[in-house]
Structures are given as structure tokens and as C-alpha cells.
Amino acid sequence: MKILVVQESDWLERNPHQQHHLMDRLAVKGHEIHVIDYPIDWPKDKSKGLIYPKKTFHNVNKVDTRANIQVIRPSFVKLPVLNYVSLANSHKKAINNEVKEFKPDVIVSLGLMNAYIASKIAKKNNIPFVYYLIDVLYTLIPEKPFQELGKHVNKKAIANSDLVISINEQLKSLAIELGAKTDKTIVIDAGIDFDSYNPDLDDSNIRNELCIMEDDIILFFMGWIYNFAGMKELAIELDKKRNDYPNMKIVIVGDGDAYGDMEKIKQEYNLDNQLILTGKQPYSKIPEFLSLADFCLLPAYIDEEIMQDIVPIKLYEYLAMKKVVIATKLPGIFKEFGEGHGIVYINEAKEVLPRAQSILNNGKYNEIANSGREFVKSNDWNVITNNFEKVLIDLIDSFND
């Protein structure tokens, strides 16, 4: 099976998401995969020149070194607004070229504008088109005036889809709200690599590396640190209450928009011993970092639009490691996990410290952690990948009948 993946985010630099796990594993199973992507963080690129040149990357893998994926990165103009206009043209050209040269059996899209373009090209060439909904992308458009346009384009791409796959029930409901046909919309859950995310993993090396004592209580966050992630507020609250929670430490593995602010908070509030910032780490090392956690966090702003419908894949990894998760009661997360499945809900980041202490004091930690592990035990990546593979093959077969 030849799969063309189209997205408007950086396949290479962003942390592994659902599509990386699936495509690496499908590549290892023998499927041929090409990806068209976009370096979304180009404004941080200090290289000179008005035009970002087209680039092709070979032998790419994100989570499995055996994978061999080709990533095509079309050129565009490095100017606000004009980047979108030029992107539409260059991605259209790249998709048409892949259809001609690569001859994909199916196109899987995760983008907005290039998803709509890909859907039209797929229809013209009688290629099955799958919209893979893992995020509410139009809410992530940095230019607020363009978000409504992004939503409109999202609807168009979904309407043109032969199948819409979402990763949770909340996103499935959103897809239908955006125009997906109920009988052509399915859920394939997020997955977990249980071999890597093993709750019995030895954490002694990473504890020594980070100077963490056995009696320290570790509040752990990993991934992209958005300004609305709640971690700035939590760090400041820990400073205010450090006498009440002397053994609590925050460990953040990752980078992002708020990383610079976190460094400033650490310095300004003298949190050297209680706020540990590791920066971005290799994916292979994440389970080891996670092993030292006591509580894993997702204290994002409860009214943040971007967070309403998503269920980050890291929640499944937290629960697989038998960690108690403390998260704000976001609609997508609550719909997916409900009560009593390893997640304890709060309303804002400031509640993390007393809630964690309360769980330890009342002796409920192991009960909560075990219930989380039990809830996600069927989310094995091998099963998820096989399900995804079968859905694509069945769709391709239906086009050939």
C-alpha cells in the first residue's frame, strides 16, 4: 500500500504525535509512505532569504528506527499572509506531482488548506481520501482573523472525505458537526507502546542525573509548553507555598512557547531546587523521564478553545506508567475517561499542589494509578496500527470494486 500523508505541521521537529506512531509502524510493516509537510515554526528560522527552498528528506523515522519515510517540504514565501498564498500553490504542485510519480493508493490528510487541495485532487484522480482528525486545527492558526476561514476550509475538506477518522469521541462529534457523514466517521483510539511504557522501569539513573531524592514528590509535565498550559501559574504557586510543600518538585520535559517564561520564573523566584527544566529530549528517553514522576499534569486553562475537544496522546502514556494524572476538566478528556479511570480533575493549576498532597495523605494513590493502567490496557499500538491498516485497505478495495 502506498500512502501519501499531507499535513501543515513540521513532521521532523515536532514531538511524535499519533500520525508519527502509525506511519512509522505501517512503514515497518512494508507500506510505502510519503509525507508532505510544512515547517510551522519558520518565523524562528534565522536563515536569510525571502523564499524557503523546497526540501526532501529521506529515511525519516520518529518512533521506530526501522521506518523509512520520505518527507517532502514544498517551498513558500517567508512573509506573514503571503506564506499561506504561496503554500497553497506549492502544496498543490507537490500533491499533483506525488499523484503522478508516487501514485498513492490512498491520501491521508491532517491539514486545513492543503487538506482541501488534496481532497479535490484525490476526487479528480479517483483516489480514496481520508481526513484524520487529531486536533482542532483552525483554533491553532496564530492570526485570529483567519481562524473562521480555517474552519470553513476544514468543513470543505471533511465534506470531500471518503472517510473521517478521529482519535476520540469528542472529536468524532466535532467532525459530524463540521459536516462529516455519520456512517463515514469512525474512532480509532490513541495507542501506547507497552514495551517502552513499563511501570516497572528503573528510574535511578534519571534521578541521579536530575539530583532528585527518594522523598521528593515529582509533578511531571512533558510536551509542548503552551502559554495556556498552566505551568507558569503552577510554578509561581509553588514558590508561594514552598513551605507547605517542601518536597514537591516540578519537572518539565519539553520546550515551546512558554519555555522562556519558565526559565525567567525559575530565576526570578529562586526555584532552582524545585523547578527542573530539561528542554526537549529524545523520544526514546521519555519513558525513563516519566518513570520518576509521581503525578503527571495537564492543568491547561479550562476555557481555552484549543483544548476543548482534544485528548493528548501523552495522557495514555501517563496512565500506562501507573501515574496519577491531575488535569483540568476539559470536555474531550472527561468524555474519553470519565471519573475513576486514573485522572483526578481540577479547575485550575493552583489546585494541583493541595490535590496531590490530599491523594497522598488519604492513601488513594495506588488505587487511582491502577485504575488508569487498567483503563488503557487495550490501547496497544500493534492493535491500533492493525485496525488503521485494515480500514485503509478496506477503503481502497471499495474503490477498486
Please give the Cα distance from 253 to 208 (Å, whole number): 16
Residue 219 β-bridge partners: 250, 295
Q: How far apart are CA 120 and CA 263, in angstroms?
A: 46
SS3 assignment for 248-293: EEEEEECCCCCHHHHHHHHHHCCCCCCEEEEECCCHHHHHHHHHCC
Here the cell at position 163 is: 472517510
Cα(95)–Cα(73) distance, rounded to whole angstroms?
Answer: 11
Adjacent-strand bridge partners of 187: 166
Cα–Cα distance for residue pair 373/318, rounded to 1 Å? 9
**pLDDT-flagged residues of the chain (< 70):** 137-138, 140-142, 145
Question: How many CA atoms does the CB half-sphere of 11 hold within 13 Å?
Answer: 32
| 300-338: pLDDT as tens digits | 989 887 788 778 889 999 999 999 999 999 988 998 899
CA distance 333 to 341: 11
Please spell the DSSP secondary structure of 299-355, one letter per residue. ---TT-GGGSS---HHHHHHHHTT-EEEEE--HHHHHHH-SSSSEEEESSGGGHHHH
Q: What domains can you pick out in the chain, each with its CATH number?
A: 2-191+380-400 (3.40.50.2000), 204-375 (3.40.50.2000)
Q: What is the spatial distance between Cα 131 and Cα 6, in angstroms, rounded to a whole number? A: 10
Q: Which of 359, 8, 54, 18 is nearest to 167 (CA)?
A: 18
Cβ neighbours of residue 22 closer than 8 Å, sequence gap 6 or more: 191, 384, 385, 388
CA 7 to chain centre: 13
∠ Cα 97 128 381 (to 5°): 100
* Contact in structure between 135 and 30 (CB atoms under 8 Å): no
pLDDT in tens, 31-61: 999 999 999 888 887 777 899 999 999 999 9
Nearest to 197 by CA among 23, 49, 47, 320: 320
Task: Give the three-state DSSP class for 130.
Answer: strand
Residue 222 corresponds to which amino acid? Answer: M
Tell me the three state secondary structure of residue 213: coil
Is the pTM of the predicted complex or chain greater than 0.85? no
